[in-house]
A and B are shown apart, each in its own frame.
Chain A
Amino acid sequence: MKRRTMIKTVAAATLAGVLMAGGAYAQEVIKLGASAPKSGPLAGGAEVSHWPAIKLWLHDVNARGGIDVGGKKMPVEVIEYDDRTSGEEAIKNIQRLATVDKVDFLVAPYATGLNLATAPLIAKYGYPQLAATAVTDGVDEFAKRWPNSFWLLGTSASFAESVADVLVKLRDKGAIGDKVAVVNVADAFGIELMNAGKPAMEAAGFEIVYETSYPLGQQDFAPIISAAQAAEPDAFVAFSYPGDTFGLSAQAKIANLDVGAFYVGVATAFPAYLGANGAAAEGVLGAGAVNPDAPGMAEWRARHKDVTGVDADYWASAMTYSSLQILEQAINKVGSLDKAAVTEAIKGGTFDTVLGEMTLDGNVNRKFWTVGQWQGGKFYGVASTGIGGEAEPVAKNGWE
């Protein structure tokens, strides 16, 4: 089977009918290209936040009969490639999608590095690139460099500064004192967050009592947690990636790290985090968030589970889905598949997404969730850059 498409039964039947009707029309199907990791180090994350969201959106849009393009409903077909978490492979995939498969639009690749690696090429072909899983401080520079690129998930600086804000809130409530232990994964993400987070915390009057970085792929966190514990912090902050997020949490629980605030980075918002830590997840702070009680969100999450068989995470899943909603609405508004016109429409428009109303000011989403917290089995946003509807952060109360 070439190009495993994700068209669901109903849509497939419709499509078959349309195709059989003959090639009188130049085009009946919108071809969407997707290149992201299905193997390699980042496959784990993409399997949670990226691929299922695309699958759900495709199901939803084709259930409606497709995208309304100038009054005609056109079903969507997705051509998927595995980039094996490698830049070379991703570039080749984009080339193939653009020149061999001649897709109409692209789903942006997964994660910061791969989005940046492919950006010059995507710009060359003029596709709008709605990067839903990249967090970097370069957003404005990149938006200027590649005017077709859009940056939705936010900047590391805001993520890190929000951590300081949440800690201040908790201190004001008397949940924690001034002593903070900060660790970070030695990867672009971890370092950018550390560089922004440390001064922000110091500026807010916190004292960094323990600080270290550890390499990507670290599996043993006992030394880090015990060293942190020895410094007797009131709060523990880790700018971490999925594997280490789980590892640090498990170790903190075993060591019974007694802190009033426990923050870990990427993957805290994954449903698997709750699964792994159970009751101990309660009160854990993490990077990114959504508002699970926002209108439509609960229904969307239920549908996600229904259609894809897995739970959506509480962060990037919804953003990936939203990026496709933006694309759909822009195509709809333009009424054609003209890439330049659609890109322009994305620039100026306001869009209705599962995350609420979204505008891209200078190609950048300025309103995004930065910190979330597990409260009663859901991951609530406790800090954002002005979305509204934040939950109040609560103190971490033990590991039982």
Chain B
Amino acid sequence: MTWLNEKERRIAGFAAIAFGVVALLPLVDQGYYLSISVNIVMYVVLCTAWTLFSGPTHYISLATAAFFGIGTYTVALGIDTVPFPLLLVIAALASGLLACVVGIATLRLSGIYFVIFTLGLAELVRQVVTWLQTNFSSSLGLYVFTDFGEQHIYWMLLGLAAIVYITGWLINRSRLGFAMQIIGNDETVAKHVGIDTARAKVILFIISGAFIGIVGAILAPRFSYVQPPSAFNPMISFQVVIMALLGGTKRIWGPLLGVIPFTILFDQVTAYFPNHTSFVIGIAFMAIVYLLPQGVLGRLEDLVRLRKRFRMVSAEEGNNP
């Protein structure tokens, strides 16, 4: 492949090996470690998809729960009649469509309106779904019975993670990615060099939303019983923002650095302080905000920069007789 340079080929190789190794996990453990890994991979995909849009644009989207819930509901409604892979496609289309409508309506506004509107979007969709079901069907809860075990969900999520990373990488080297970089630098300049900034943002929002919808769809079989409050749980939106920002949104693998420690931290807190979860999480959270202002990624880059400088200094000193 001529369109990959040496370095890229090496990274791709490492990534492929890493994915391969991680994919072997269900063969080692089918219990708790698999469960927490499903959660980790799920949030990795959610946060990375979120970052695809929010990283370059700096718009904070709290609509994750809405897309996720739409994905979950797509599967819950269709599982008995439609083949699962097709449901994943429908989930992607449905949440992408929602992202498109919301994006067109709100992305020309400034950031804060977008935050509030997306915050309410999950509630809105949840209420509309509830209302439709109340008035046009006999029951609210839907049962999703499949033969999928945790390991199948895990593998599907891993596969999706790979697709998200590849998509992100392709976007970065495409005109769209370059356009987003310019928009992130200076939106006025972006417009004057001919970039349709609104359209670029909407496209990214659609891609991001579609991926989140697929995650919701993949996760649906994990909950045998789907109902609006669990499918459109606003906590998902918040956790995604927090983990992604914690990791760092400047690079596509930034969120990974947030999701892993955060999921483990959350889990340990639940285990060690079941009665003080909120309190301890709150403290941990404030500490993160104050101690890691640029996220783990920022801190890591600082360290790398420091080391480089240190090396240069010591090299210079070494040259002195």
The verdict on B27 contacting chain A, using a C-beta distance below 8 Å, is no
Given contacts A86-B235, A92-B35, A98-B31, contact A188 B139 (CB under 8 A): yes
Q: How far is the CA of A100 from the CA of B36 in the complex (A)?
A: 12
The reply to whether A216 and B35 form a contact with Cβ atoms under 8 Å apart is no
Residues in B with CB closer than 8 Å to A89 are 270
The reply to whether B225 and A81 form a contact with Cβ atoms under 8 Å apart is no
Q: Of B225, B235, B275, which one neighbours A84 at CB under 8 angstroms? A: B235
Number of interface residues of A (CB under 8 A): 43
Question: What total count of A-B pairs have CB within 8 Å?
Answer: 119
The reply to whether A39 and B140 form a contact with Cβ atoms under 8 Å apart is no
The verdict on B138 contacting chain A, using a C-beta distance below 8 Å, is yes
The reply to whether A117 and B139 form a contact with Cβ atoms under 8 Å apart is no
The reply to whether B274 and A80 form a contact with Cβ atoms under 8 Å apart is yes
When C-beta atoms are compared, the residue in chain A nearest to B35 turns out to be: A95
The verdict on B106 contacting chain A, using a C-beta distance below 8 Å, is no
CB distance from B235 to the nearest CB of A (A): 7
Interface size of B as a range: 35 or more
The reply to whether B277 and A191 form a contact with Cβ atoms under 8 Å apart is no
The reply to whether A117 and B225 form a contact with Cβ atoms under 8 Å apart is yes
Of B89-97, B129-137, B183-191, the segment with at least 4 beta carbons within 8 Å of chain A is: B129-137
Q: How far is the CA of A124 from the CA of B190 in the complex (A)?
A: 56
Q: Of A81, A191, A192, which one neighbours B270 at CB under 8 angstroms? A: A81
Q: How far is the CA of A225 from the CA of B215 in the complex (A)?
A: 41
Given contacts A2-B271, A2-B272, A91-B222, contact A39 B277 (CB under 8 A): yes
The reply to whether A91 and B35 form a contact with Cβ atoms under 8 Å apart is yes
The verdict on A93 contacting chain B, using a C-beta distance below 8 Å, is yes
The reply to whether A116 and B233 form a contact with Cβ atoms under 8 Å apart is no
The reply to whether A92 and B277 form a contact with Cβ atoms under 8 Å apart is no
CB distance from A185 to the nearest CB of B (A): 10
CB distance from A215 to the nearest CB of B (A): 5
Residues in B with CB closer than 8 Å to A1 are 272
Using a CB-CB cutoff of 8 Å, which residues 113-167 of chain B contact chain A?
127, 130-131, 133-135, 138-141, 143, 145
The verdict on A96 contacting chain B, using a C-beta distance below 8 Å, is yes
When C-beta atoms are compared, the residue in chain B nearest to A116 turns out to be: B225
Residues in A with CB closer than 8 Å to B29 are 99
The reply to whether B223 and A93 form a contact with Cβ atoms under 8 Å apart is no
The reply to whether A99 and B31 form a contact with Cβ atoms under 8 Å apart is yes
Given contacts A81-B270, A86-B230, A92-B32, contact A112 B225 (CB under 8 A): yes
Q: How far is the CA of A186 from the CA of B141 in the complex (A)?
A: 11
Q: How far is the CA of A93 from the CA of B42 in the complex (A)?
A: 17
Q: Mark B1-33, 1 if CB is under 8 A from A, else 0.
A: 000000000000000000000000000010111
Interface residues of A (CB under 8 A from B): 1-4, 38-41, 80-82, 84, 86-89, 91-93, 95-96, 98-100, 112-113, 116-117, 119-120, 136, 138, 145, 186-188, 190-192, 195, 213, 215-216
Interface residues of B (CB under 8 A from A): 29, 31-36, 39, 42, 127, 130-131, 133-135, 138-141, 143, 145, 219, 222-225, 227-230, 233, 235, 267, 270-275, 277-278
Given A4-B273, A39-B278, 7 additional A-B pairs, CB 8 A: A3-B271, A38-B277, A88-B223, A92-B35, A92-B39, A92-B267, A95-B31
